[in-house]
Amino acid sequence: MIHVASLTYTYPTGKKMEFPNFTVDRGEHCLLLGESGCGKTTLLHLLGGLLRTTTGNIKIGGQDLGKLSEAGLDDFRGKHVGFVFQKNHLITALTVEQNLLLAPYLSKKPGAGVAEVLSALNLQGLQSKKITTLSQGQAQRVAIARALMNKPDVILADEPTSALDDKNCDAVIDLLMNVAKENQATLVIATHDSRLKSKVKRKIELR
């Protein structure tokens, strides 16, 4: 599903990053491990088409990201990739339902039903709630729900658990893995959280 070959990225500051070659199969779950500053977020952004590679190439589901135009990349991201960020970054001016509906609207892809996704994540009845009234745990789950709205092929999670205590950490990682399994989505989690190491078998170490 994800195929990375001789990938490098050079920051505007001139700092150069080299990434190992790796392949992640469809439906596989894997961790991107490494200390902060080793390029985990950069790699995740490269995989999601938020950044362009300097050299080398990334193929997702057979599509070479380097060959897509700027608009093509936006479109690809919207249709095939779901992001979960460390801070949940929901749009506070909108309701829960509007946040979820934004995903299919922006990607121009018919999405899943809001009620369906919410109930799968134990969030029934929150449709018309303001984001600011949600608890931390609820907000994180809404963010995951949003990533699922488009039934993505790939879910990219950036430090989804680092701000959570052990109990919530377990809940969130289990949830992510469950929903990825149910959606037959490939899950890539970038983290330096060692609590996750026992949960996910496949690990890619960055240096």
The residue among 101 and 115 lying less far from other proteins, judged by its C-beta, is: 101
Helices 166-182 & 136-148 angle (0-180, nearest 10): 20
* Whole-number Å distance between alpha carbons of 89 and 146: 11
Q: Does 10 bind other proteins (CB under 8 A)?
A: no
* Strands (E) located in the chain: 2-10, 16-18, 22-24, 29-33, 55-60, 63-64, 81-84, 154-158, 186-191, 202-205
Neighbours of 165 (CB within 10 A): 11
Q: CA 122, CA 136: separation in Å to the nearest integer?
A: 14
193 binds other proteins (CB under 8 A): no
Q: Is 42 in the site for other proteins (CB under 8 A)?
A: yes
Per CB under 8 A, does 35 bind other proteins?
A: no
Select 61 or 170, whichever has its Cβ closest to other proteins: 61
The helix, strand and coil proportions of the chain, stated in percent and rounded to the nearest 5, come to: 35, 25, 40
The verdict on 106 binding other proteins (CB under 8 A) reads yes
Q: How many residues bind other proteins (CB under 8 A)?
A: 35
Near other proteins by CB under 8 A: residue from 8, 54, 105, 205: 105
Site membership for other proteins, residue 107 (CB under 8 A): yes
Query: Smallest gap, in angstroms, from Cβ of residue 106 to other proteins?
Result: 4
Stretch binding other proteins (CB under 8 A), from 16-24, 42-50, 55-63, 171-179: 42-50
Sole window of 58-66, 102-110, 121-129, 179-187 interacting with other proteins (rule: CB under 8 A)? 102-110
Within 138-177, which residues bind other proteins (CB under 8 A)? 146, 150, 158
Return the number of other C-beta atoms located less than 10 Å from residue 153's C-beta. Answer: 19
Of 15, 44, 13, 18, which Cα lies nearest the Cα of 31?
44
First to last CA, the chain: 23
| Out of 33, 103, 112, 179, the residue judged to bind other proteins by CB under 8 A | 103
Contact predicate 205/33, CB 8 Å? yes
Q: Which residues bind other proteins (CB under 8 A)?
A: 41-42, 45, 48, 50-51, 70-71, 74-75, 77-79, 81, 83, 85, 89-94, 98, 101-109, 146, 150, 158
